[in-house]
Amino acid sequence: METRKTVSKSLATVTLSSLLGFLAARLSGIYQGTYDFYIAIFLIFVLITSCTYLLFYERIEEFWWSIHKRRNLGRPIFGILKQEGCLRSATRFTPEDWRQRLEELCKGREIKVETIQAEQISSKYTVVLNPYGEYYPEKDLVELNTLQEIKKYILNGGAFVNAGGFAFYHGWDWIRRREATLGKEFEGYQETGVPGSRLFVPARLWPASYAFSLTETPLNDFFKVMTTMGDPQTVRVYQDDTDRRYSGDISRVGGSDYIREFRAAREPLRNAQPLLRARWPNETSTTIVYPIIAIPTGKGCLVLAGMDLGSGIELGEVDLDRSGRDKIIHALINMIENQRNGHIPFDWRKS
């Protein structure tokens, strides 16, 4: 939208200048042409069109966006990121695992599933899923250009899903084939054993679990989301009526209402829609966290699945990793169908 607005401004400026120059040349007698009238009409038409767009561009863009979104929801496409060499954390499922399971659960529905690279993220895709858990593909680990594109995709109405652990905590540079932790580094002091003296310790010398912040991260910087800390916990999940309105009844999908919670979103949250809830760190706690939650951002949303999908733990005869993955998929399918059927707004700003 901003690009079209910029082009329209430039076009209006150039056209106005051309029109004034043409009239000045015509009146001074410098230019005498056969098609003066048609040239003037054309320039005036372009000028009026550009100025009209600039005056009403928000309404015009909203109109065309709503048409695109309805068409997009009519034939949804799920894009699953697949970047060669990208590492995974807090999940054992590969992009192909997700694609295969999505195709199984979408059978009989008008939903298409594709594997895509990060540079293919666009409004063509109703949903884009990052299957790498705490890693995501990033072409610039300093400027975070890919993360900027992901946010732009969400702002324009897309649903970006991070499945597993702490979203955007590690970046994988597929160009240089290296990784980086994106949480800000801690620096501090350590007792030396000599009374009254302490030693300055750079972050790189701290144990890995303490070297990076869980609060000053891209997830908080870009989306204002905080998560739980500590080790994964087996918790029982539940929903309220509003949650089910958005994502359907998913608490027992996969054969169990237990999951391995890990880095679930927590309060304070602004304008967020929980899809699944849990008491943390156990059922007797009064603290409520959100293992699956939609964070409205612009017209779209970021969907976070704060679970450990690589635990390998079974409860009874239920694989909690697979059960958690199926809860995520069912939540996404139900959310898209509820938008398509008009049960929930397809513009998340109106949620």
Question: What pLDDT score was predicted for residue 349?
Answer: 83
pLDDT at 191 over 60: no
Q: Is the pLDDT of residue 206 over 50?
A: no
User: Can you give the pLDDT at residue 66?
Assistant: 86
pTM of the model: 0.83
Give, as one character, the DSSP assignment of residue 257. Answer: S
- How many percent of the chain have pLDDT more than 90? 63
To the nearest 10 degrees (0 to 180), the angle between helices 2-28 and 36-74 is 170
Question: Which of the residue ranges 9-13, 107-111, 207-211, 324-328 would you say has the lowest mean pLDDT?
Answer: 207-211
Between these two residues, 42 and 307, which has the higher pLDDT value? 307
**Stretch 302-318: mean pLDDT:** 97
Confidence of residue 31 (pLDDT cuts 50, 70, 90): low
